Structure 1
Amino acid sequence: MRIVLASGSPRRRELLDQAGYNYQVVVSDVDEETDLTNPKEYVLELSRRKAKDVYQKLVKTDKMVVIGADTVVSLNDKILGKPKDYEDAYQMLKSLSGQTHHVYTGVSLVYYDGDKLIEKSFCECTQVLFYPMSHEEITWYLDTKEPFDKAGSYGIQGKGGIFVKEIRGDYNNVVGLPLARLYHELDGLN
Protein backbone atom coordinates (compact mmCIF):
# COMPACT_ATOMS: atom_id res chain seq x y z
CA MET A 1 0.00 0.00 0.00
CA ARG A 2 1.27 3.47 -0.89
CA ILE A 3 1.59 5.60 2.26
CA VAL A 4 1.57 9.39 2.10
CA LEU A 5 2.44 11.44 5.17
CA ALA A 6 0.61 14.78 5.20
CA SER A 7 3.15 16.44 7.47
CA GLY A 8 6.42 18.30 7.23
CA SER A 9 7.41 17.25 10.75
CA PRO A 10 10.91 15.79 10.78
CA ARG A 11 10.01 13.89 13.95
CA ARG A 12 7.11 12.10 12.27
CA ARG A 13 9.36 11.18 9.35
CA GLU A 14 11.98 9.83 11.77
CA LEU A 15 9.36 7.67 13.48
CA LEU A 16 8.11 6.23 10.19
CA ASP A 17 11.73 5.62 9.13
CA GLN A 18 12.46 3.80 12.41
CA ALA A 19 9.45 1.56 11.82
CA GLY A 20 10.68 0.73 8.32
CA TYR A 21 7.81 2.26 6.35
CA ASN A 22 8.21 3.35 2.74
CA TYR A 23 6.26 6.56 2.31
CA GLN A 24 6.03 9.84 0.49
CA VAL A 25 5.74 13.26 2.14
CA VAL A 26 3.24 15.80 0.84
CA VAL A 27 2.87 18.73 3.21
CA SER A 28 -0.61 20.07 3.83
CA ASP A 29 -1.15 23.81 3.68
CA VAL A 30 -4.60 23.91 5.29
CA ASP A 31 -5.59 26.62 7.72
CA GLU A 32 -4.84 25.34 11.22
CA GLU A 33 -7.01 27.91 12.98
CA THR A 34 -9.98 26.50 14.88
CA ASP A 35 -12.24 27.59 17.71
CA LEU A 36 -12.12 24.15 19.30
CA THR A 37 -10.78 24.17 22.86
CA ASN A 38 -11.03 20.48 23.74
CA PRO A 39 -7.57 19.03 22.99
CA LYS A 40 -8.88 15.70 21.66
CA GLU A 41 -11.40 17.37 19.35
CA TYR A 42 -8.76 19.91 18.30
CA VAL A 43 -6.14 17.36 17.18
CA LEU A 44 -8.73 15.14 15.50
CA GLU A 45 -10.11 18.08 13.52
CA LEU A 46 -6.69 19.26 12.36
CA SER A 47 -5.48 15.75 11.50
CA ARG A 48 -8.63 15.26 9.37
CA ARG A 49 -8.14 18.57 7.58
CA LYS A 50 -4.51 17.77 6.77
CA ALA A 51 -5.20 14.24 5.50
CA LYS A 52 -8.17 15.32 3.36
CA ASP A 53 -6.25 18.29 1.94
CA VAL A 54 -3.36 16.12 0.79
CA TYR A 55 -5.62 13.33 -0.45
CA GLN A 56 -7.44 15.80 -2.72
CA LYS A 57 -4.11 16.99 -4.20
CA LEU A 58 -2.98 13.52 -5.28
CA VAL A 59 -3.80 11.14 -8.09
CA LYS A 60 -6.01 8.65 -6.31
CA THR A 61 -5.25 4.95 -6.37
CA ASP A 62 -6.97 2.08 -4.62
CA LYS A 63 -3.77 1.24 -2.77
CA MET A 64 -3.07 4.61 -1.16
CA VAL A 65 -3.57 5.91 2.37
CA VAL A 66 -2.88 9.47 3.51
CA ILE A 67 -1.86 9.97 7.14
CA GLY A 68 -2.63 13.32 8.76
CA ALA A 69 -1.52 14.07 12.32
CA ASP A 70 -1.57 16.88 14.83
CA THR A 71 -0.11 17.07 18.35
CA VAL A 72 -0.79 19.44 21.23
CA VAL A 73 0.12 19.65 24.88
CA SER A 74 -2.68 20.29 27.35
CA LEU A 75 -2.20 21.67 30.85
CA ASN A 76 -5.27 22.15 33.04
CA ASP A 77 -7.48 21.85 29.93
CA LYS A 78 -5.59 24.64 28.15
CA ILE A 79 -4.09 23.79 24.76
CA LEU A 80 -0.41 24.60 24.34
CA GLY A 81 0.56 24.48 20.68
CA LYS A 82 3.81 25.64 19.13
CA PRO A 83 5.17 28.82 20.74
CA LYS A 84 4.74 32.11 18.92
CA ASP A 85 8.04 33.54 20.19
CA TYR A 86 10.66 33.34 22.94
CA GLU A 87 8.41 34.78 25.66
CA ASP A 88 5.55 32.45 24.74
CA ALA A 89 7.92 29.46 24.90
CA TYR A 90 9.29 30.66 28.25
CA GLN A 91 5.79 30.96 29.72
CA MET A 92 4.81 27.50 28.46
CA LEU A 93 7.86 25.87 30.00
CA LYS A 94 7.40 27.79 33.24
CA SER A 95 3.78 26.58 33.44
CA LEU A 96 4.85 22.95 32.76
CA SER A 97 7.59 23.04 35.41
CA GLY A 98 6.83 20.51 38.16
CA GLN A 99 3.43 19.75 36.62
CA THR A 100 1.69 16.83 34.98
CA HIS A 101 0.37 17.54 31.51
CA HIS A 102 -1.16 15.56 28.67
CA VAL A 103 0.05 15.19 25.10
CA TYR A 104 -2.66 14.48 22.52
CA THR A 105 -1.96 13.32 19.00
CA GLY A 106 -4.81 12.95 16.55
CA VAL A 107 -4.22 10.74 13.52
CA SER A 108 -6.47 10.50 10.46
CA LEU A 109 -6.21 7.92 7.72
CA VAL A 110 -7.92 8.81 4.44
CA TYR A 111 -8.16 6.17 1.73
CA TYR A 112 -10.39 4.81 -1.01
CA ASP A 113 -11.75 1.31 -0.45
CA GLY A 114 -12.91 0.76 -4.04
CA ASP A 115 -16.43 2.07 -3.45
CA LYS A 116 -16.05 5.23 -1.44
CA LEU A 117 -13.67 7.51 0.40
CA ILE A 118 -13.03 6.30 3.95
CA GLU A 119 -11.76 8.38 6.83
CA LYS A 120 -10.62 6.71 10.02
CA SER A 121 -9.40 8.82 12.93
CA PHE A 122 -8.10 8.14 16.41
CA CYS A 123 -6.48 10.01 19.24
CA GLU A 124 -3.84 8.92 21.73
CA CYS A 125 -3.13 10.68 25.02
CA THR A 126 0.09 10.39 27.02
CA GLN A 127 0.60 11.79 30.51
CA VAL A 128 3.94 13.51 31.20
CA LEU A 129 5.30 14.82 34.52
CA PHE A 130 8.08 17.42 34.46
CA TYR A 131 10.66 18.00 37.14
CA PRO A 132 10.61 21.54 38.53
CA MET A 133 12.72 23.79 36.29
CA SER A 134 14.63 26.90 37.34
CA HIS A 135 14.70 30.14 35.38
CA GLU A 136 18.28 29.31 34.36
CA GLU A 137 17.29 25.86 33.08
CA ILE A 138 14.42 27.27 31.05
CA THR A 139 16.54 30.02 29.47
CA TRP A 140 19.36 27.53 28.76
CA TYR A 141 16.87 25.27 26.99
CA LEU A 142 15.37 28.15 25.02
CA ASP A 143 18.86 29.20 23.94
CA THR A 144 19.31 25.77 22.31
CA LYS A 145 16.50 26.80 19.88
CA GLU A 146 15.03 23.29 20.20
CA PRO A 147 11.62 24.30 21.61
CA PHE A 148 10.40 26.64 18.90
CA ASP A 149 8.78 24.21 16.46
CA LYS A 150 7.26 21.90 19.04
CA ALA A 151 3.92 21.72 20.81
CA GLY A 152 4.34 22.74 24.44
CA SER A 153 7.80 24.15 23.64
CA TYR A 154 9.75 20.96 24.26
CA GLY A 155 11.09 17.90 22.50
CA ILE A 156 11.11 14.78 24.66
CA GLN A 157 13.42 13.07 22.15
CA GLY A 158 16.00 15.85 22.42
CA LYS A 159 17.44 18.03 25.13
CA GLY A 160 13.96 18.58 26.56
CA GLY A 161 13.93 14.97 27.71
CA ILE A 162 16.05 15.90 30.74
CA PHE A 163 13.03 17.65 32.26
CA VAL A 164 10.76 14.59 32.10
CA LYS A 165 10.34 12.84 35.44
CA GLU A 166 7.66 10.36 34.45
CA ILE A 167 5.64 9.31 31.43
CA ARG A 168 2.47 7.23 31.25
CA GLY A 169 1.51 6.07 27.80
CA ASP A 170 3.15 5.98 24.40
CA TYR A 171 6.50 7.80 24.28
CA ASN A 172 6.27 8.10 20.48
CA ASN A 173 2.94 9.87 20.89
CA VAL A 174 4.79 12.68 22.69
CA VAL A 175 7.33 12.80 19.84
CA GLY A 176 4.44 13.27 17.40
CA LEU A 177 3.03 9.95 16.18
CA PRO A 178 1.62 7.01 18.19
CA LEU A 179 3.55 4.46 16.17
CA ALA A 180 2.24 1.23 17.71
CA ARG A 181 -1.39 2.25 17.28
CA LEU A 182 -0.70 3.52 13.76
CA TYR A 183 0.93 0.20 12.83
CA HIS A 184 -2.15 -1.74 13.93
CA GLU A 185 -4.53 0.65 12.18
CA LEU A 186 -2.56 0.43 8.91
CA ASP A 187 -2.27 -3.35 9.24
CA GLY A 188 -6.06 -3.51 9.46
CA LEU A 189 -6.36 -1.83 6.04
CA ASN A 190 -4.51 -4.60 4.18
Structure 2
Amino acid sequence: MLTEISKKYEFILGSTSPRRKQILTDLGLTFKVKQQEVEEVFPNDLSGKAIAEYLAKLKADAYTLNNNQIVITGDTIVVQQGNVLGKPKSDNEAKQMLAALSGNKHEVISAICLKSNQKTIVLSDCTQVYFNPLTATEIAYYISNYQPFDKAGAYGIQEWIGQIGIHKIEGSFYTVMGMPIHLLYQALKTF
Protein backbone atom coordinates (compact mmCIF):
# COMPACT_ATOMS: atom_id res chain seq x y z
CA MET A 1 0.00 0.00 0.00
CA LEU A 2 2.91 2.36 0.64
CA THR A 3 4.78 1.41 -2.52
CA GLU A 4 4.45 4.79 -4.25
CA ILE A 5 5.68 6.84 -1.32
CA SER A 6 8.50 4.34 -0.73
CA LYS A 7 9.67 4.98 -4.30
CA LYS A 8 9.62 8.76 -3.83
CA TYR A 9 11.24 9.02 -0.41
CA GLU A 10 14.01 7.50 1.65
CA PHE A 11 12.69 6.91 5.18
CA ILE A 12 14.77 7.26 8.31
CA LEU A 13 13.55 5.89 11.61
CA GLY A 14 15.00 8.16 14.27
CA SER A 15 14.88 5.50 16.95
CA THR A 16 16.72 2.33 17.89
CA SER A 17 13.64 0.94 19.63
CA PRO A 18 13.23 -2.69 18.54
CA ARG A 19 9.46 -2.29 18.96
CA ARG A 20 9.25 0.69 16.59
CA LYS A 21 11.51 -1.05 14.07
CA GLN A 22 9.32 -4.17 14.10
CA ILE A 23 6.08 -2.20 13.75
CA LEU A 24 7.39 -0.27 10.72
CA THR A 25 8.74 -3.46 9.18
CA ASP A 26 5.36 -5.14 9.66
CA LEU A 27 3.73 -2.13 7.97
CA GLY A 28 5.85 -2.84 4.90
CA LEU A 29 7.87 0.37 5.01
CA THR A 30 11.50 0.32 3.87
CA PHE A 31 13.68 2.49 6.12
CA LYS A 32 17.10 3.07 7.61
CA VAL A 33 17.69 3.44 11.33
CA LYS A 34 19.66 6.51 12.36
CA GLN A 35 19.24 7.91 15.85
CA GLN A 36 20.48 11.37 16.80
CA GLU A 37 21.15 11.86 20.50
CA VAL A 38 18.80 14.47 21.94
CA GLU A 39 18.39 15.49 25.55
CA GLU A 40 14.73 14.72 26.27
CA VAL A 41 13.86 17.85 28.23
CA PHE A 42 10.56 19.69 27.86
CA PRO A 43 9.21 23.02 29.15
CA ASN A 44 7.59 22.81 32.60
CA ASP A 45 4.33 24.35 31.37
CA LEU A 46 3.57 21.39 29.08
CA SER A 47 1.39 18.48 30.11
CA GLY A 48 -0.12 15.31 28.63
CA LYS A 49 0.05 14.92 24.88
CA ALA A 50 1.86 18.26 24.48
CA ILE A 51 4.91 16.69 26.18
CA ALA A 52 5.01 13.66 23.88
CA GLU A 53 4.43 15.83 20.79
CA TYR A 54 7.12 18.30 21.83
CA LEU A 55 9.68 15.53 22.38
CA ALA A 56 8.84 13.75 19.11
CA LYS A 57 9.33 17.01 17.19
CA LEU A 58 12.50 17.84 19.15
CA LYS A 59 13.96 14.53 18.03
CA ALA A 60 12.98 15.14 14.38
CA ASP A 61 14.48 18.64 14.42
CA ALA A 62 17.90 17.11 15.14
CA TYR A 63 18.11 15.82 11.55
CA THR A 64 19.45 17.52 8.43
CA LEU A 65 17.56 15.97 5.54
CA ASN A 66 17.99 15.72 1.79
CA ASN A 67 15.04 16.64 -0.43
CA ASN A 68 13.91 13.02 -0.79
CA GLN A 69 14.17 12.02 2.88
CA ILE A 70 11.53 11.74 5.60
CA VAL A 71 12.47 11.12 9.20
CA ILE A 72 10.04 9.42 11.57
CA THR A 73 10.55 10.01 15.28
CA GLY A 74 8.42 9.19 18.29
CA ASP A 75 8.04 9.61 21.99
CA THR A 76 5.92 7.85 24.59
CA ILE A 77 4.96 8.98 28.05
CA VAL A 78 2.95 7.38 30.81
CA VAL A 79 0.70 9.64 32.86
CA GLN A 80 -0.76 8.45 36.14
CA GLN A 81 -2.84 10.83 38.24
CA GLY A 82 -1.18 13.83 36.59
CA ASN A 83 2.36 12.52 37.11
CA VAL A 84 4.52 11.84 34.06
CA LEU A 85 6.43 8.57 34.36
CA GLY A 86 9.44 8.50 32.08
CA LYS A 87 12.08 5.82 31.71
CA PRO A 88 13.31 4.55 35.08
CA LYS A 89 16.95 5.18 35.89
CA SER A 90 17.29 2.44 38.52
CA ASP A 91 15.71 -0.73 39.89
CA ASN A 92 14.26 1.28 42.75
CA GLU A 93 12.68 3.85 40.43
CA ALA A 94 11.20 1.06 38.27
CA LYS A 95 9.74 -0.58 41.41
CA GLN A 96 8.19 2.72 42.48
CA MET A 97 6.63 3.26 39.04
CA LEU A 98 5.17 -0.24 38.81
CA ALA A 99 3.87 -0.04 42.38
CA ALA A 100 2.10 3.21 41.47
CA LEU A 101 0.56 1.61 38.36
CA SER A 102 -0.47 -1.54 40.27
CA GLY A 103 -4.25 -1.81 40.63
CA ASN A 104 -4.77 1.53 38.87
CA LYS A 105 -5.59 3.11 35.53
CA HIS A 106 -3.11 5.26 33.64
CA GLU A 107 -2.71 6.87 30.22
CA VAL A 108 -0.09 6.04 27.64
CA ILE A 109 0.44 8.84 25.15
CA SER A 110 2.55 8.19 22.06
CA ALA A 111 3.43 10.89 19.56
CA ILE A 112 5.03 10.59 16.16
CA CYS A 113 6.65 13.22 13.99
CA LEU A 114 7.15 12.96 10.24
CA LYS A 115 9.53 15.56 8.88
CA SER A 116 10.82 16.34 5.41
CA ASN A 117 12.41 19.51 4.06
CA GLN A 118 8.95 20.63 2.97
CA LYS A 119 6.77 19.92 5.98
CA THR A 120 6.42 18.53 9.47
CA ILE A 121 3.48 16.57 10.86
CA VAL A 122 3.11 15.77 14.56
CA LEU A 123 0.37 13.39 15.72
CA SER A 124 -0.43 11.72 19.01
CA ASP A 125 -2.76 9.11 20.44
CA CYS A 126 -3.79 8.18 23.96
CA THR A 127 -4.73 4.76 25.36
CA GLN A 128 -6.10 4.03 28.83
CA VAL A 129 -4.41 1.06 30.51
CA TYR A 130 -5.81 -0.80 33.54
CA PHE A 131 -3.42 -2.81 35.71
CA ASN A 132 -4.33 -5.63 38.06
CA PRO A 133 -2.82 -5.35 41.54
CA LEU A 134 0.80 -6.55 41.37
CA THR A 135 2.72 -8.14 44.22
CA ALA A 136 6.20 -6.98 45.19
CA THR A 137 7.47 -10.40 44.05
CA GLU A 138 5.89 -9.98 40.59
CA ILE A 139 7.35 -6.49 40.23
CA ALA A 140 10.82 -7.66 41.29
CA TYR A 141 10.66 -10.67 38.94
CA TYR A 142 9.69 -8.48 35.98
CA ILE A 143 12.42 -5.90 36.58
CA SER A 144 15.07 -8.56 37.13
CA ASN A 145 14.16 -10.58 34.03
CA TYR A 146 13.08 -7.88 31.56
CA GLN A 147 15.18 -4.81 32.52
CA PRO A 148 12.51 -2.24 31.50
CA PHE A 149 14.84 0.77 31.70
CA ASP A 150 14.21 1.84 28.10
CA LYS A 151 10.43 2.01 28.56
CA ALA A 152 8.24 4.84 29.82
CA GLY A 153 6.45 3.76 32.98
CA ALA A 154 8.92 0.88 33.43
CA TYR A 155 6.97 -1.69 31.43
CA GLY A 156 6.30 -3.11 27.99
CA ILE A 157 2.74 -4.24 27.28
CA GLN A 158 4.04 -7.00 25.00
CA GLU A 159 6.16 -8.51 27.76
CA TRP A 160 5.37 -10.76 30.74
CA ILE A 161 4.03 -7.90 32.87
CA GLY A 162 1.49 -7.05 30.17
CA GLN A 163 0.39 -10.66 29.93
CA ILE A 164 -0.23 -11.08 33.65
CA GLY A 165 -0.82 -7.52 34.82
CA ILE A 166 -2.99 -5.68 32.31
CA HIS A 167 -6.64 -6.61 32.36
CA LYS A 168 -8.01 -3.97 29.98
CA ILE A 169 -7.03 -1.22 27.57
CA GLU A 170 -9.18 1.43 25.93
CA GLY A 171 -7.47 2.47 22.72
CA SER A 172 -4.67 1.17 20.54
CA PHE A 173 -2.33 -1.60 21.65
CA TYR A 174 0.31 -0.12 19.33
CA THR A 175 0.06 3.26 21.03
CA VAL A 176 1.04 1.54 24.28
CA MET A 177 3.96 -0.12 22.44
CA GLY A 178 5.16 3.34 21.41
CA MET A 179 3.99 3.70 17.80
CA PRO A 180 0.41 4.73 16.94
CA ILE A 181 0.75 3.01 13.61
CA HIS A 182 -2.82 3.73 12.51
CA LEU A 183 -2.03 7.47 12.63
CA LEU A 184 1.31 7.04 10.89
CA TYR A 185 -0.24 5.03 8.08
CA GLN A 186 -2.90 7.67 7.39
CA ALA A 187 -0.30 10.46 7.50
CA LEU A 188 1.98 8.62 5.07
CA LYS A 189 -0.88 8.13 2.58
CA THR A 190 -1.37 11.90 2.41
CA PHE A 191 2.20 13.10 2.94
TM-score, with structure 1 as normaliser? 0.91
Q: Secondary structure at the match of 1:157?
A: coil
Residue among 34, 41, 52 paired with 1:26: 34
Q: Distance in 1 between matches of 2:157 and 2:189?
A: 27
- Kindly report which structure 2 residues correspond to 1:1-20, keeping only aligned pairs within 5 A, or say none: 1-20=9-28
In structure 1, the residue matched to 2:116 is: 111
* Residue 173 of structure 1: how far off its partner (Å): 0.7
Letter in 1 for 2:33: V
Residue among 47, 52, 61 paired with 1:43: 52
Measured against aligned partners, the alpha-carbon deviations of 1:17-76 in whole angstroms (never above 9, x if no partner) come to 11111011110212212233402111111100111112x2x4x12x32111100011001
- Larger mean CA deviation between 11-20 and 85-94 belongs to 11-20
Letter in 2 for 1:46: L
Measured against aligned partners, the alpha-carbon deviations of 1:112-171 in whole angstroms (never above 9, x if no partner) come to 3xxxx3111111001100000011111111111332211100010111212111011110
The answer to whether the 8 A contact 1:146-1:155 is kept is no
1:91 is aligned to 2:96: yes
- Kindly report which structure 2 residues correspond to 1:124-139, keeping only aligned pairs within 5 A, or say none: 124-139=125-140
TM-score, with structure 2 as normaliser? 0.91
Q: Distance in 2 between matches of 1:83 and 1:118?
A: 34
In structure 1, the residue matched to 2:182 is: 180
Identical columns (%): 36
Residue among 166, 169, 181 paired with 1:167: 169
1:155 is aligned to 2:163: no
Q: Distance in 2 between matches of 1:181 and 1:27?
A: 22
Q: Secondary structure at the match of 2:56?
A: helix
Q: Distance in 2 between matches of 1:157 and 1:21?
A: 22
Letter in 2 for 1:126: T
Q: Distance in 2 between matches of 1:148 and 1:121?
A: 26
Runs of 4+ more than 6 Å apart: none
Q: Secondary structure at the match of 2:61?
A: helix
Q: Secondary structure at the match of 1:8?
A: coil
Unaligned runs of at least 5 residues, structure 1:
none
In structure 2, the residue matched to 1:72 is: 77
**CA 159–146 in structure 1, closer or farther in 2 if over 3 Å, else same:** farther
Q: Distance in 2 between matches of 1:130 and 1:14?
A: 25
Could you say what the CA RMSD is over the residues aligned between the two structures, in angstroms? 1.2
Q: Secondary structure at the match of 2:133?
A: coil
